[in-house]
Structure 1
Amino acid sequence: MTQLVGSLPPRWILRDPYAHQKGIPRFPRVVATVLAARGITTRPQAEAFYRPHLLPEYDPLLLPGMPEALRRVERAIEQRETIALFGDFDVDGVTSIAILHEGLAPLGAATIPYIPDRFSEGYGLNLGAIRTLADAGATLLITADCGISSVTEVAYANELGLDVIILDHHTVPEVLPPALAAINPKRIDSPYPFDELAACGVAYRFLQVLYEHLGRAFDDTAFIDLAALGTVVDVAPLIDENRRIVTRGLEAMRAGLRPGLQALARVSGVAPERFTAETLGFALGPRMNAAGRLAHANLALQLLLAPTAAAAATLAEQLNALNRERQRQTEEATALAEELLGPEDAPLLFVASEHISPGIVGLVASRLAERRNRPAVVLSRGPEESRASARSVPGFDIVVAIRKEKALLVRHGGHRSAAGFTVRNENLELLRDRLIATAAEQLGCQPAARVIEVDAQASLADLDGLEIKGLMAFEPTGHGNRKPVLLSRGVELREARPVGADRSHLRLTLRDGRVTWRGIAFRQAEADLDARVDIVYSLQRDLRGDGVELEVLDIAPAAAARPLEIRTG
């Protein structure tokens, strides 16, 4: 029987073995080492990292298609045309549409927000929706978080008399759709300095420059919360411009929430003053996404646009209930997928079942990829076609692998780490074999242990107030800017007790020198423990929000002397 990846202990790899020599002088030692491990070795770089709102903004007019889009929207407003706003059904798409709808209204624009139904329409632009919007009188169509791969659909819109402006951030295909403007920072001809904006970031910058183009004052605080929310939930890297957007968005949220987010915070049990990027990603985001996964994403859009607390409260309760059902279905579907896979650990995991809803295939794929450290493709099998979502691992561009097989697909799109497609069932077996072959070529056939990148090795006892303050100031943290990860050896384990509904987590009490720390180790109740342990961990706010505890990412007996490897290549 092949050993599953989940049973292999993670490898600890030092991000930069020379970081301790390159740290900024007179900075707290551990903070300086972690910053250097992230490539920050000068005071100006540190200033830009810790205070991103002070950096000059990039010019949105550098984005190809932006001047044409501005002129076309200006004409639509002047001539009182109806503008259709077509967005994806995830949080990035919903926040993008909310930004455009709210932002265009004060300029006098007449808009029709449209989000497709995941189950009857599927992902992206579709011919039926375009016909519906044309029949409703739209003469300009703006897509958000989709459209960059919709060559046929955009051509059809043109035939019906609609000009199309695309605001997207997905991987750009070889052939662009025949749109009036295709604004995407990932275009190879784009001189815009940052190519990792989420779609809501593209919509936000478009709106910002449109106001400037029309000579109108732009109220940044009215939209930055939505741009921050969509950026985090879409797992865009929290670096550069995204870090600025999320930092400013969180500041705006802590100062006061729109009714919809206030209601969502209440049902999530999170106080606005304690909002972090993690709050957006793990408390608000899943509840909003539950609408598009199980019902219709219009619920999430209505919540964001809710004018009163009373209207928002009802919608937030609906989303909360949908999220609980989403959690239940995800657990059952993941168990089914694991059963169908069995002990197999192919270079790429491929599961198709009529018993997995298309609304949760992405969540199941994400669980499988995390547990087995392999790219995972999960399909909801229909009578004639199957809808799939794919999640990848470092070193494997899943959207490139899928695009290689475009001749077998009905539609496709996505990012390096997450993608989706629709395929006719007669092509399933061939598609599976080809994707596995591509993964085998790039990743090899042997199971790979999960890797935890360590920024610095440090004594737990040496983490004083300045070190803690500097490490906690890495917020907002998430994809592309993970929390600092430290390794401390020989820590005394005072207590370890299972907690959680299924008792799969460990609540820890750890001591080093005179300092005692509380910690939590998620999904590690079966970990091998001893009186002295080595821990790999990050710092996080405790449940009360007024203290700091350890989030233990991995734990091993000190006697085992688990190596801290040096990255090669």
Structure 2
Amino acid sequence: MIKDWKILSSQKTNSLDDIIKIILKNRGLSSSKEISQFINPPHPKDLTLSDFQIDKQEVQKAITRIKEAKSKKESVVVYTDYDADGVCGGTIIWEILHKMGLQVMPYIPDRVEEGYGLSIKGIDKIIKEFDPGLIITVDHGITGSEKIDYAKKKGIDTIVIDHHVLSKSPPLKHKAHSIIHTTKLAATGVAWVFARQLHPQGIESYLDLVALATVADLVPLIGPNRSLVKFGLEKIRNTKRIGLKALIETAGIDQSRIGVHEIGHILAPRLNAMGRLFHALDSMRLLCTPDEDRAVELAQKLNRTNKERQVLTQDTVSHAHNLYLSSQNNKKLIFIAHETYNQGIIGLVAGKLVESYYRPAIVISKGEIYSKASARSINGFNIIETIRTASEFLVDSGGHPMAAGFTVKTEFIEIIQKKLEDIVEEKLTPDLLTNTLKADCILDNNFLKTEIYRGLQILEPFGMGNPPPLFITRSLKINDIRLIGRDNKHLKLFLDIDGKNIEAVGWNFGRFYPDLLKNKFVDIAFTLKENHWNGQTNLQLNIEDVKIPERQQRQ
């Protein structure tokens, strides 16, 4: 996919301070107060409910109901989602209630048998097994009014802890006992804030799970999330949680250096793998276990399952690519359905299609009667809003502007496809379909050094909403070039920078190899990184895009 390059600032950089000021301005920060809060975010314990945009009255209602459940010795079920956010949030609520002395059990639905969120089947199952008087949902429930009503008729109250986008109808407030909700945080963040109000003792120790889930769920690292992740990363690097330590060790990560990248690309996929292919309860067991041997056993199981998930994803992505290309469909929406696709990975497949073709993608796992769909979008196009325009044909739907899912009767797939394609054709403008790489500024060769990288760490944590600073440097001489990795998919350049050999690595950039020549020049868009290997620390450029300089093209 050819990208347009847009340089956000043309200001000349003469120092590290200049670079930092440019980046802050590009992030929309100008006043000294905004900059101070960004660089030195307050500790989460010092933030108020209004800072998190959580309703104080709803929190108090939920606390009162939980205390009532304790006094009446009611059984309570924490009914959580099967992804990393749901598992981490469910762990916090279950452990806190357990510490408070409630009769509480966790429940995670089976992805295939019960599907996402509350279900009649799931409610009937927990009634039979636990006979609860109270259900607490985590990472779902905000669109589950019919299921909450069903539970209410069975004599069960429901407290909803969620962060998904509210559905417009039917109204939920009159059915749920209380709703702890904000779209600003991950569900685990919402769970932590509620737990802080419910039982503040030792609550800071749970920030490791909050950081893990916030990064895993791709929540923007701005506002309160900066506080949660910044202080949560400190907790992860020093975590006492036996299962999390086992997972870190099994994954081969240096615990003292864990950052957003290690969470998003190494730890979270392992936690998610169980819920994608089997059952997520083992992920929750890992986070909760006090037994070191059991923790190692579970961490190794998650590791093996993630490898299976990787192979299955690669095969399915390849199949989906071929299906899309053979369809010769030039619609703005990619819409693919197949009966062999595993429900647990269709979201990953949709994401890969968006990366390749830069347009919204919906991938469906077809069933005999019902089919499950997962959608991913591009910047500026609200996919859940689009999906809900076809709500009359859907069994259910939920999600966020950039990622969503729905269930549909298989007989309605073609109708849904036509309706959604028409809406996307109308609403998705050509400018949104332009894949634009936005660089903070041009960086001269003399700034490509370790001191600059380390100075920029003041702006961490980087992630969604606060991406790593992206720079462009032009006309860098290539000293050497190699293909690396399995199937030679990746690219490594050795660049001449002030007489030094600096490595630049482009993941999945092997396709550029024929166009780049030794002793020739290249323009590079990149982020900076420190590479720690064999006891040595070196600066590395992580390639985001490359172009042949115009003067070289004309030769």
User: Shorter-chain TM-score: what band?
Assistant: over 0.9
The answer (yes or no) to whether the contact 2:450–2:530 under 8 Å persists in 1 is: no
Q: Distance in 2 between matches of 1:350 and 1:449?
A: 19
TM-score (norm 2): 0.92
Q: Distance in 1 between matches of 2:444 and 2:243?
A: 44
What is aligned with 1:559?
A: 550
What is aligned with 2:87?
A: 94
What is aligned with 1:299?
A: 282
What is aligned with 2:322?
A: 339
| Map 1:158-557 → 2, pairs under 5 A | 158-175=152-169, 176-177=171-172, 178-186=175-183, 196-211=184-199, 217-342=200-325, 343-444=328-429, 448-463=433-448, 466-527=451-512, 528-530=515-517, 531-544=520-533, 546-557=537-548
Q: Distance in 1 between matches of 2:551 and 2:411?
A: 51
Q: Distance in 2 between matches of 1:390 and 1:111?
A: 34
> Judging changes above 3 Å, is the alpha-carbon distance between structure 1 residues 151 and 321 closer, same or farther for their aligned structure 2 residues?
same
The answer (yes or no) to whether the contact 2:215–2:263 under 8 Å persists in 1 is: yes
Match of 1:49 among 38, 43, 55: 38
What is aligned with 1:190?
A: none
What is aligned with 1:148?
A: 142
- Cα displacement (A) at 1:469: 2.2
The answer (yes or no) to whether the contact 2:450–2:539 under 8 Å persists in 1 is: no
The answer (yes or no) to whether the contact 2:337–2:364 under 8 Å persists in 1 is: yes
Q: Distance in 1 between matches of 2:31 and 2:497?
A: 32
> Judging changes above 3 Å, is the alpha-carbon distance between structure 1 residues 561 and 120 closer, same or farther for their aligned structure 2 residues?
farther
CA deviation string 1:311-360 (max 9, x = no partner): 01111111111111101111111111111111434201011001111111
Q: Which moved more, 1:54-63 or 1:497-506?
A: 54-63
Which structure 2 residue ranges, 5 or more long, are not aligned?
Answer: none
- Cα displacement (A) at 1:16: 4.8
Q: Distance in 2 between matches of 1:88 and 1:409?
A: 20
Q: Distance in 2 between matches of 1:481 and 1:561?
A: 34
Q: Name the SS for the 1:533 alignment partner.
A: strand
The answer (yes or no) to whether the contact 2:16–2:455 under 8 Å persists in 1 is: no
Q: For 2:405, give the aligned amino acid.
A: G
TM-score (norm 1): 0.90
Q: Distance in 1 between matches of 2:457 and 2:331?
A: 39
Q: Which moved more, 1:177-186 or 1:444-453?
A: 444-453
| Map 1:64-83 → 2, pairs under 5 A | 65-83=58-76
> Judging changes above 3 Å, is the alpha-carbon distance between structure 1 residues 114 and 495 closer, same or farther for their aligned structure 2 residues?
same
What is aligned with 2:3?
A: 10
> Judging changes above 3 Å, is the alpha-carbon distance between structure 1 residues 16 and 294 closer, same or farther for their aligned structure 2 residues?
same
Q: Distance in 2 between matches of 1:535 and 1:27?
A: 20
- Cα displacement (A) at 1:47: 2.6
Q: Name the SS for the 1:329 alignment partner.
A: helix
The answer (yes or no) to whether the contact 2:476–2:521 under 8 Å persists in 1 is: yes
Q: Name the SS for the 1:164 alignment partner.
A: strand
CA deviation string 1:473-501 (max 9, x = no partner): 33221111110000111111112200011
Q: Which has the higher contact order (CA 8 A, sep 6+)?
A: 1
Q: For 1:205, give the aligned amino acid.
A: V
CA deviation string 1:342-401 (max 9, x = no partner): 143420101100111111111111100111101110011111111011111111101001
CA deviation string 1:132-175 (max 9, x = no partner): 22332210111010000011100001001111110000001113
CA deviation string 1:74-102 (max 9, x = no partner): 21122222111001110000111101011
Q: Distance in 2 between matches of 1:62 and 1:529?
A: 56
Aligned residues: 537
Q: Distance in 1 between matches of 2:286 and 2:551?
A: 52
- Cα displacement (A) at 1:472: 2.8
Q: Distance in 2 between matches of 1:26 and 1:446?
A: 35
Q: Name the SS for the 2:459 alignment partner.
A: coil
Q: Which moved more, 1:157-166 or 1:75-84?
A: 75-84
What is aligned with 1:38?
A: 27
The answer (yes or no) to whether the contact 2:504–2:540 under 8 Å persists in 1 is: yes
The answer (yes or no) to whether the contact 1:333–1:364 under 8 Å persists in 2 is: yes
The answer (yes or no) to whether the contact 2:380–2:432 under 8 Å persists in 1 is: no
> Judging changes above 3 Å, is the alpha-carbon distance between structure 1 residues 504 and 54 closer, same or farther for their aligned structure 2 residues?
same
Q: For 2:186, give the aligned amino acid.
A: A
Q: Distance in 1 between matches of 2:134 and 2:317?
A: 42
Q: Which moved more, 1:30-39 or 1:118-127?
A: 30-39
- Cα displacement (A) at 1:222: 2.4
What is aligned with 1:117?
A: 110
> Judging changes above 3 Å, is the alpha-carbon distance between structure 1 residues 561 and 208 closer, same or farther for their aligned structure 2 residues?
farther
Q: Distance in 1 between matches of 2:482 and 2:449?
A: 27
Q: Distance in 2 between matches of 1:197 and 1:360?
A: 24
Identity percentage of aligned residues: 33
Aligned-residue RMSD, C-alpha? 2.1
The answer (yes or no) to whether the contact 1:354–1:380 under 8 Å persists in 2 is: yes
What is aligned with 1:193?
A: none
- Which structure 1 residue ranges, 4+ long, deviate > 6 Å from structure 2? none
Q: Which moved more, 1:253-262 or 1:153-162?
A: 253-262
Q: Distance in 2 between matches of 1:66 and 1:380?
A: 38
What is aligned with 2:49?
A: 59
Q: For 2:346, give the aligned amino acid.
A: V
Q: Distance in 2 between matches of 1:326 and 1:83?
A: 33
Q: Name the SS for the 1:307 alignment partner.
A: coil
Q: Which moved more, 1:50-59 or 1:289-298?
A: 50-59
Q: For 1:12, give the aligned amino acid.
A: W
- Cα displacement (A) at 1:450: 2.1
Q: Name the SS for the 1:477 alignment partner.
A: coil
- Cα displacement (A) at 1:108: 1.3
Q: For 2:336, give the aligned amino acid.
A: V
Q: Distance in 2 between matches of 1:413 and 1:64?
A: 25
- Cα displacement (A) at 1:27: 6.2
